């Protein structure tokens, strides 16, 4: 029943079943998903929010029916007072009915939000896709990555999960970018949310990045986490050779004194 409902929802919202693999060697593709413990945390948050809403409705409902009469100051007509009392009563009943109806829908969205999280890593780039109502997909190449770090709050520590944060060039400082968008929305920050192997994914990314920089790709002067490189890229060697040849040519064609 739940699986049929999820398939219907994804088909109705036209959500692609899974993202494509980013650039990189096929044998290096690693696909990571959010932990089942992350789902437990989301379900607890969903339950608490629904419980708070239900308590509010019950209090309002009880106040109306058992808390005494409602004072409609300035209304002398008993007919108008009665109509307003019935209107308030129906509003309470409709609110309670809508609350009950939204329970399975909101629960389904929680399940889909957890399930539709994809974190794909290759030897050249990574891709993050998440979301159901609004699908967000972010692709980062290692040449632009400046920082890979692990973020973990008290609840994440309790559930033994963490968020892996990947920052690219232009994403420093933590301030809002142009247009009022946050760094994450601007595409400079990506998160592997709710994973239970954040350290493994971090080491995998840093390992690929180190191999690329050792091969002369990327920015060798920019540290990433604890990794840095002082390898001189081939483009600088080529530029130095070109400069030497230009100086030699200039000396050759210059008139001798």
**Residue range 100-124, pLDDT digits in tens:** 999 999 999 999 999 999 999 999 9
At residue 178 the predicted structure's pLDDT band, cuts being 50, 70 and 90, is very low
Residue 250 above 90 pLDDT? no
113-122, 146-155, 170-179, 201-210: least confidently modelled range? 170-179
**Which pLDDT tens digit goes with each residue over 51-74?**
999 998 888 777 766 655 455 555
By percentage, how much of the chain surpasses pLDDT 90?
45
Compute CA 99 distance to the chain's CA centroid, rounded to the nearest angstrom: 28
- Give the residue-averaged pLDDT of 187-206: 93
Q: What is the CATH number of domain 19-34+118-172+181-228?
A: 2.30.29.30
pLDDT at position 49 is 96
**Which pLDDT tens digit goes with each residue over 68-102?**
545 555 555 666 666 766 777 787 788 888 999 99
pLDDT at position 236 is 56
For CA atoms 180, 186, 188, 193, the dihedral sign is positive
Structure tokens at 68: 């005494």
41-45, 126-130, 154-158, 226-230: least confidently modelled range? 226-230
Residue 228 above 80 pLDDT? no
**Residue ranges of the domains in the chain?**
19-34+118-172+181-228, 43-113
Taking the CB of residue 141, how many other CB atoms lie within 10 A of it?
16
Question: For residues 6 and 109, is the Cβ–Cβ distance under 8 A?
Answer: no
- Give the residue-averaged pLDDT of 133-144: 90
Structure tokens at 9: 């929802």
Q: What is the mean pLDDT of the chain?
A: 80
Question: For residues 146 and 132, is the Cβ–Cβ distance under 8 A?
Answer: no
- Give the residue-averaged pLDDT of 227-252: 60
Q: Which of 105, 203, 182 minimizes the C-alpha distance to 136?
A: 182
């Amino acid at each position: 029943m739940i699986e049929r409902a999820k398939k219907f929802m994804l088909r109705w919202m036209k959500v692609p079943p899974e993202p494509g693999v980013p650039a990189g060697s096929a044998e290096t593709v690693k696909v990571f998903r959010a932990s089942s413990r992350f789902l437990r945390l989301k379900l607890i948050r969903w339950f608490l929010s629904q419980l708070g809403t239900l308590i509010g409705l019950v209090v309002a409902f009880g106040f109306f029916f058992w808390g005494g009469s409602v004072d409609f100051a300035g209304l002398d007509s008993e007919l108008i007072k009665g109509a307003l009392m019935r209107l308030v009563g129906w509003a309470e009943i409709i609110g309670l009915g809508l609350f009950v109806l939204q329970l399975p829908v909101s629960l389904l969205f929680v399940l889909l939000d957890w399930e539709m999280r994809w974190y794909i890593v290759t030897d050249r780039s990574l891709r993050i896709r998440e979301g159901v109502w609004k699908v967000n997909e972010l692709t980062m190449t290692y040449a632009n990555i400046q920082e890979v770090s692990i973020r973990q709050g008290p609840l994440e520590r309790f559930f033994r999960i963490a968020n892996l944060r990947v920052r690219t060039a232009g994403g420093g400082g933590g301030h809002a970018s142009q247009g009022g968008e946050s760094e994450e929305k601007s595409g400079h920050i990506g998160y592997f949310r709710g994973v239970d192997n954040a350290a493994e994914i971090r080491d995998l990314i840093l390992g690929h990045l180190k191999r690329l920089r050792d091969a002369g790709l990327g920015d060798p002067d920019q540290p990433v986490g604890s990794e840095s490189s002082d390898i001189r890229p081939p483009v600088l060697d080529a530029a130095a050779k070109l400069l030497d040849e230009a100086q030699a040519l200039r000396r050759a064609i210059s008139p001798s004194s």
